[in-house]
Chain A
Amino acid sequence: MIRRLSPAGLLGLLILAFWVAMAVFGAAVAPHAAGRIVDMEVFLPVSADYPLGTDYLGRDMLSRVLHGTRYTVGVALGAALIASGSGLMLGMCAAVWGGMVDGAISRALDTLISIPSKMFALVVVAAFGSSVPVLILMAGIIYTPGAYRIARSLAVSVNAQDFVTVARARGEGTLYLVRAEILPNIIGPVLADFGLRFVYIVLLLAGMSFLGLGVQPPNADWGSLVRENMAGLHEAAPAVLMPAFAIASLTIGVNLAIDVLGGGRREGDGH
């Protein structure tokens, strides 16, 4: 599959790999601690000492972004796993069981989808306060119905095929039907959808943090970095641009990588 990678796909995978590595090792490779004030000058431009300048308190921006990667990528990854995982399981079960169960799951998740996601997030944070586990769970729940819909419609069409009928006539249980017969045939599009959920969640979390409801100080994800440095906007300080640029590069990178996944699968499906 690697041989057939397009340049854009390769770029996407590289960007993604870079950010995932930073999420794991960012704190170790960052030149300074996240909260340390390194210079009395605030909103310094790009320089050899501070490659991304300094922020509104004179902290090293590069270190701030690298420390923030863990929150942005980690929370989004956790939430996307919850959303896609539960959506996939529920979708496949709904397809296999059908009838009343399918109706009940579908309507319950339709109810959830009818609440605007930002509003739901605000209510949850207002009720439970903002902490990393709450954020992960909240974003995971918000994006479950979308993942469910995709997984269910894919699973329903596979479920109608004769090889699933044969397995069912053999007396196979739900777990086997889902794991061996349905999942391998829908995993390609589901993975592509997972990437998409990840991007949505990154943007939702950035939005929440920008409103001050996301990751709380002294920790900071990229969204809160943008917010705290808003004052530097009229000075064209890199401190406000760089976290925004990091968000953009992550979402673009994931999108390019998704195309590789989807496309690679499709090519493999030939005939």
Chain B
Amino acid sequence: MSAPLLEVRNLEVRARNAAGQEVPIVRDASFTLAKGEVLALIGESGSGKTTIALALLGYAKPGCRIAGGSIRLGETDVLGLSKSALRDFRGRRVSYVAQSAAASFNPSLTIMAQVTEMAMLHGIGSAAEAEKRAIALFRALALPDPTRIGARYPHQVSGGQLQRLMAAMALIAEPELVVLDEPTTALDVTTQIEVLRAFKQVVKGSGVSAVYVSHDLAVVAQMADRILVLRNGEMQEIGPTGEILAAPKHPYTQSLLAAAAPTPRGAAAAPEAPPLLEVRGLTAGYGRIDAQGNPTLPVLRDIDFTIRRGSSLGVIGESGSGKSTLARVIAGLLPAARGEVMLDGAALPPALARRTPAQLRRIQLVFQSADTALNPRASVASILGRPIEFFHGVKGAARDARVKRLLDLVQLPASVADRQPGALSGGQKQRVNLARALAAEPDLILCDEVTSALDTVVGAAILDLMDGLRRELGLSTMFISHDLHTVRSVCDEVMVLYAGERVEAGSRRAIQEAPWHPYTNLLISSVPELRQGWLERRGSVRGPEAAAGARPACAFFARCGLAMPGLCDVTPPPRRTLAKAAEILCHRDEAALMQASIPAGP
């Protein structure tokens, strides 16, 4: 093998902690990368994967310092470069693609100006040449309308497109190495697939080397030639992708693999318990409500479902499908325009202000991001103590005892009570978030993407905890997620939302069996599988951007592989009950759907 393009030796990065001491956050990292190779850095948050990735650009986050070791890119000693040499080096020879493209683009400049900026900055060719190269990259990244997309502003393109444009920005100056930092983590599965495909094509096509940072093994399996597993800043294992996936040597890698393939939790089927929450013909949205009870901007249309006592309903859909709005409507934060929500057979008033404290107590919300869901200026004790006081009128020592019991219930030490949320880890914060909902002693908990901000292993622990609590306390849950894996592993029943409509609903068993509604089919087949070559075999996907424009009778019409023009876009799809006891909203009959669910042959 020829000399490697990148060689990292004994890299050590130190950070200053709250007490002012320097502690190593990356220790003794050594690896090499050949030209055209893709190396994945994988690990939980705090494993040092992003820190290593940034060090490759000769950069350390504020408060951190590259303390030792060497990084060589070709003939260049990266850590020995002066400040001005680093400016030339970054972007020109190594470039970076960040997780959130939306935050990385300047909203007031056109896309073309920002994509070509790097080339202009490094003085590579004229503006016209840079634009030509940008258009070629847009084409290679399979962006729609490559010649004109550059004239748009960042808010005028979709999230998936923006992420690809970010890759174009990174590649414009033809660097030797590109660092991709969780570039698809924030995307929906159906969007992710096209972005991954585009990245892979461009990386293979241009012969650039890449370092791909991710916590998702299945994604990494599609992208990387080799995988480096990190934990707490130390290398655990490095090897070719196939070997790591098939025969992981290190126990930590084995546990990561185990967490990526979730085990089913909870009861297999919903017990014949009485219904707790019934929702009938629910329509909700924003803006003025007309005489027929339709809001100007409808978000949810005619939703029906039932949650039985002690069971769990999963709600899945991509962003914009109305799943979070559903939780807000049930909680009373957004009054429904039409339809009814019944708790234990009694209709709930649509608006929050008209509900009684007892009704409010019985339904609790848990939000996705524990960072914004917990008051940063309040102690954990007061965050948990307030609902106890508010709903149960318990004060003083009795309240403190209950707080302690709650912390115990979510498996947190009692010492956490005096701390503020800022001093807790992500997983701990999510447990406090959950404990606050439990403090009210509710019957129903609405969980909005509670694990999507967490690492796989931490998220799995939260799911286990929730499942245990559900059985222990007889709680019902509504579990909102964009992650099919999560929903399938924790829920007894699953409801699929698309553009505010319930396109499929059935038991967990039903959702695992064909046939499906075409959209469910798309969702299921878009989740990356933990084997190499899956991405290549997976056919092309029509992402959400395909459905722009006027809304046809069936909202999924533009993206549907089975659409029948003249019928699907004109007549609203009927509700159909399949043999697997699931209800779908589709014109196609069961046989046709079954045929479409069988994956195309090789």
Interface contact A165-B367, CB-CB below 8 Å: yes
Interface contact B372-A180, CB-CB below 8 Å: no
What separation, in Å, do the CA atoms of A165 and B374 have in the docked complex?
Answer: 10
Chain A interface: which of B273-281, B306-314, B352-360?
B352-360
By a CB distance below 8 angstroms, the chain B residues around A185 are 375-377
Tell me whether A165 and B333 are in contact in the complex, defined as CB-CB below 8 angstroms, given that A170-B387, A171-B360, A180-B386 are known contacts: yes
Q: Is B489 an interface residue (CB 8 A)?
A: no
Interface contact B367-A172, CB-CB below 8 Å: no
By a CB distance below 8 angstroms, the chain B residues around A271 are 422
What separation, in Å, do the CA atoms of A180 and B383 have in the docked complex?
Answer: 10
Interface contact A172-B365, CB-CB below 8 Å: no
Question: Which of B332, B367, B368, B391 sits near A166, CB closer than 8 Å?
Answer: B367
Count of A-B contacts judged by CB separation below 8 Å: 51
What separation, in Å, do the CA atoms of A184 and B373 have in the docked complex?
Answer: 15
**Which residues in chain A, 142-171, are within 8 Å of chain B measured between CB atoms?**
161-163, 165-171
Interface contact A162-B372, CB-CB below 8 Å: yes
Q: Is A181 an interface residue (CB 8 A)?
A: yes
What is the CB-to-nearest-CB distance from B353 to chain A, in angstroms, rounded to a whole number? 8
What separation, in Å, do the CA atoms of A161 and B378 have in the docked complex?
Answer: 14
B residues contacting the other copy or chain, number (CB 8 A): 26
Interface contact B390-A163, CB-CB below 8 Å: no
In this complex, what residue of B is CB-closest to A270? B422
In this complex, what residue of A is CB-closest to B359? A171
Q: Does more than half of chain A's interface fall in helix, strand or loop, or is it mixed?
A: helix
Question: Which of A163, A168, A170 sits near B375, CB closer than 8 Å?
Answer: A163
Q: Is B177 an interface residue (CB 8 A)?
A: no
In this complex, what residue of B is CB-closest to A165? B333
What is the CB-to-nearest-CB distance from B436 to chain A, in angstroms, rounded to a whole number? 7
Interface contact A165-B377, CB-CB below 8 Å: no
Q: Is B440 an interface residue (CB 8 A)?
A: yes
Q: Is B196 an interface residue (CB 8 A)?
A: no
By a CB distance below 8 angstroms, the chain A residues around B365 are 165-166, 169
Q: Is B555 an interface residue (CB 8 A)?
A: no
Interface contact A172-B352, CB-CB below 8 Å: no
What separation, in Å, do the CA atoms of A171 and B357 have in the docked complex?
Answer: 7
Q: Is B232 an interface residue (CB 8 A)?
A: no
What separation, in Å, do the CA atoms of A171 and B368 have in the docked complex?
Answer: 20
By a CB distance below 8 angstroms, the chain B residues around A269 are 376
What separation, in Å, do the CA atoms of A170 and B374 have in the docked complex?
Answer: 14
Closest 6 CB pairs of A and B: A184-B377, A162-B373, A162-B367, A171-B360, A162-B372, A163-B375
Between-chain CB contacts (< 8 Å), 29 pairs: A161-B372, A161-B373, A162-B367, A162-B368, A162-B369, A163-B372, A163-B373, A163-B374, A165-B365, A165-B367, A166-B373, A166-B436, A168-B352, A169-B331, A169-B332, A169-B333, A169-B360, A169-B364, A170-B387, A170-B391, A171-B355, A171-B357, A171-B360, A180-B378, A180-B386, A184-B375, A184-B377, A269-B376, A271-B422
